[in-house]
A and B are shown apart, each in its own frame.
Chain A
Amino acid sequence: EADIYQTPRYLVIGTGKKITLECSQTMGHDKMYWYQQDPGMELHLIHYSYGVNSTEKGDLSSESTVSRIRTEHFPLTLESARPSHTSQYLCASSEYLSGEGQDTQYFGPGTRLTVL
């Protein structure tokens, strides 16, 4: 099981502000992910990283950006927040389970963002 931390847990902010959502994991996992989820909807992958200096966009288009300068840290930034960015943002990292022969993702507690 991964120890993944996200801060802040809740954020209410005005339109136009720049925000950074923090995500850290202590397990040394190379692969990390950001998902966005709205109530009653599925999780959508918006960014992922396979290691330091590697970042890719996910299946859902997002105006956010990410960076991966250190293995344990994968922050997400919105340069100018808008009400349409209101959502829950979930960070995950993955561990290879040899018994299953597959990567399994473990999630942080999430950040609920509200943009007024």
Chain B
Amino acid sequence: DQQVKQNSPSLSVQEGRISILNCDYTNSMFDYFLWYKKYPAEGPTFLISISSIKDKNEDGRFTVFLNKSAKHLSLHIVPSQPGDSAVYFCAASGNSADKLIFGTGTRLQVFP
């Protein structure tokens, strides 16, 4: 049973537009959420995180929104750039704060 779900395996967005990647979770004990970006044959790169005491965290072009009641978080990238094309993983952790549970990823393609 997957505790972290990324239901969209792929997303295609035009350069300059907003990219919205979604993630749902089932475990109400999760209290820390992270987004990672991964290029093929490379390790994931940490992008941004949010703890459950917040509903929004922003870092440059990246903003993560957390809706605890819906058990849903989203990553907004604006404006999208071709270099953002990669697989984005959502991850969550709970009481055992450093055991991350990952989603299956969403492949983002930003075209000119």
User: Which residue of the partner chain A has the closest CB to B32?
Assistant: A102
Residue contact A103 to B46, C-beta cutoff 8 Å: no
Query: What is the CA–CA distance of A105 and B2 in the complex, to the nearest angstrom?
Result: 21
Q: Which of A11-19, A71-79, A106-114 contacts B (4 or more CB under 8 A)?
A: A106-114
Partner-B contacts on A (CB < 8 A): 1, 4, 6, 9-10, 31, 33, 40-45, 48, 58-59, 88, 90-92, 94, 97, 100-110, 112
Mask, B39-60, CB within 8 Å of A = 1, is: 0011111100111000000000
Query: What is the CA–CA distance of A92 and B46 in the complex, to the nearest angstrom?
Result: 11
Query: What is the CA–CA distance of A48 and B101 in the complex, to the nearest angstrom?
Result: 14
Task: Give the shortest distance, in Å, between B109 (CB) and chain A (any CB).
Answer: 15
Residue contact A102 to B93, C-beta cutoff 8 Å: yes
Task: Give the shortest distance, in Å, between B46 (CB) and chain A (any CB).
Answer: 6
Question: Chain A residues with Cβ under 8 A from B45's Cβ?
Answer: 107
Residue contact A102 to B41, C-beta cutoff 8 Å: no
Residue contact B98 to A105, C-beta cutoff 8 Å: yes
Task: Give the shortest distance, in Å, between B48 (CB) and chain A (any CB).
Answer: 10
Q: List 7 A-B contacts (CB under 8 A).
A: A10-B41, A43-B102, A45-B99, A48-B99, A92-B43, A107-B43, A108-B43
Question: Chain B residues with Cβ under 8 A from A110's Cβ?
Answer: 41-43
Question: Chain A residues with Cβ under 8 A from B91's Cβ?
Answer: 43
Residue contact A42 to B49, C-beta cutoff 8 Å: no
Residue contact A109 to B42, C-beta cutoff 8 Å: yes
User: Which residue of the partner chain B has the closest CB to A42?
Assistant: B102
Mask, B8-50, CB within 8 Å of A = 1, is: 0100000000000000000000001010100001111110011
Residue contact B9 to A40, C-beta cutoff 8 Å: yes
Question: Chain B residues with Cβ under 8 A from A100's Cβ?
Answer: 32, 49-51
Question: Chain A residues with Cβ under 8 A from B41's Cβ?
Answer: 9-10, 88, 110, 112
Query: What is the CA–CA distance of A105 and B41 in the complex, to the nearest angstrom?
Result: 18
- With A42-B102, A45-B100 known to touch, is A90 a contact of B49 (CB < 8 Å)? no
Residue contact A43 to B97, C-beta cutoff 8 Å: no
